Amino acid sequence: MLARYGGDHWQNNMKWSAVGGTGDGHRMGLEAGGSLVGEGVMHIHAVAGRQDSFFDRMEMFALQLVVDDNGMQMTAGDEHYSTAALKMTTMNGGYGNFIFDANASFATAELEEMAAEGYAVKADTLEELAEKAGLPVENLLLTVRQHNRHIETGTPDAWTTAPGAMIPVTTAPFYCLKRQSVIMGTIAGLKINNNMEVVRDNGEPVGNLYATGELIFGNLFNNVYPMSGTAITTCISTGQLASDHAVETMSK
């Protein structure tokens, strides 16, 4: 199922779907005559190889310089975590190297902790950082020079990051934190009508069958998870709509 919804690169991800999320809701709905709508999976990114890292969230929303394993910038600095993770999945084996320096003071405490635990690399110079992180030194130096020049001149970078959404990388200590894309759930889902009834390809309800929550995200968004909170609010509201309709139908 992950291979079907997660695209060619799904194996590049850590998998964090909820306990019990094995796909049987989809299978039951389809076997009953329902149909599928939407494509893809929900992506996020987290400290590479660290399954419990969801709550060290500062890097997710920070103003970042993210480079691929060749030392070249691979996302906009203000990239949404979901599209950044998709780029990591498809362009760089699931990984992104997040470069920080002393200017990222909001992140220093967590970076120090991650360096101590071996999840981040710390160095006094960019050359040393590149070597420790296994990145080509010349490429990283060039990328950082370009990044800083965009900030100095107030021009967007090649990824169209707004200048105000970038912080320079100039001051030791420098850090490189490797992050990995994560699949946290499914977008493709069972097709439903406004009453949350599962419908066939032709739009007719299967009958006496409702689907709500993550099972039906494909009716609302496609391919890319739009924003934290979209999932939970959909789960709550669609559950209410389905139960209202079921009660109303039963009482007739």
Ligand X SMILES: Cc1cc2nc3c(=O)[nH]c(=O)nc-3n(C[C@H](O)[C@H](O)[C@H](O)COP(=O)(O)OP(=O)(O)OC[C@H]3O[C@@H](n4cnc5c(N)ncnc54)[C@H](O)[C@@H]3O)c2cc1C
The region of 3-11, 17-25, 130-138, 187-195 touching ligand X under the rule CB under 6 A is 17-25
Which residues contact residue 245 at a Cβ distance below 8 angstroms, ignoring those fewer than 6 apart? 195, 196, 197, 210
48-85: burial string, b at 16+ Cβ within 10 Å, e else? bebeebeebeebbebbbbbbbbebbbbbbbbbbbbebb
- To ligand X, the closest distance from the beta carbon of 197 in angstroms equals 16
End-to-end Cα separation, the chain, in angstroms: 39
Q: State which residue, 3 or 19, has the beta carbon closest to ligand X.
A: 19
Contacts with ligand X by CB under 6 A: the residue count is 18
Residues 204-223 that bind ligand X (CB under 6 A): 213-214
* Alpha-carbon gap, residue 75 to 220, rounded angstroms: 26
Q: Of 13-21, 81-89, 112-120, 125-133, which segment contacts ligand X by CB under 6 A?
A: 13-21
CB of 235 to ligand X, least distance (A): 4
Residue of the chain from 3, 18, 247, 250 that contacts ligand X (CB under 6 A): 18
Q: Does 235 bind ligand X (CB under 6 A)?
A: yes
Please name the residues in contact with 218: beta carbons below 8 A apart, sequence gap of 6 or more. Answer: 36, 37, 38, 39, 187, 188, 189, 190, 191
User: Which C-beta is closer to ligand X: that of 102 or that of 227?
Assistant: 227
Q: Which residue is nearest to ligand X (CB)?
A: 20
Is residue 29 part of the contact set for ligand X (CB under 6 A)?
no
Residues in region 129-188 near ligand X by CB under 6 A: 184-185
The conformation of residue 73, written as its DSSP 8-state character, comes to B
Interface segment toward ligand X; rule CB under 6 A; list 75-83, 102-110, 117-125, 225-233: 225-233
Could you say whether residue 117 binds ligand X (CB under 6 A)? no
For the bound state, the minimum distance from the C-beta of residue 54 to ligand X, rounded and expressed in Å, comes to 5
- Residue 56 interacting with ligand X (CB under 6 A): no
Residue pair 169/88 in contact (Cβ under 8 Å)? The answer is no
User: Which residue in 24, 113, 152, 248 binds ligand X (CB under 6 A)?
Assistant: 24
C-alpha distance from residue 96 to each of 40, 71, 103, 181, 228 (Å): 21, 10, 20, 8, 21
What residue ranges in the chain does DSSP mark as E strands?
14-15, 36-37, 41-47, 65-67, 95-100, 120-123, 174-186, 189-190, 197-199, 205-210
Residue 54 makes contact with ligand X by CB under 6 A:
yes
**Part of the chain binding ligand X (CB under 6 A), chosen from 67-75, 154-162, 164-172, 231-239:** 231-239
| Token pair belonging to 106 | 């909001």
Residues that bind ligand X (CB under 6 A): 16-21, 24, 54, 184-185, 213-214, 228-232, 235
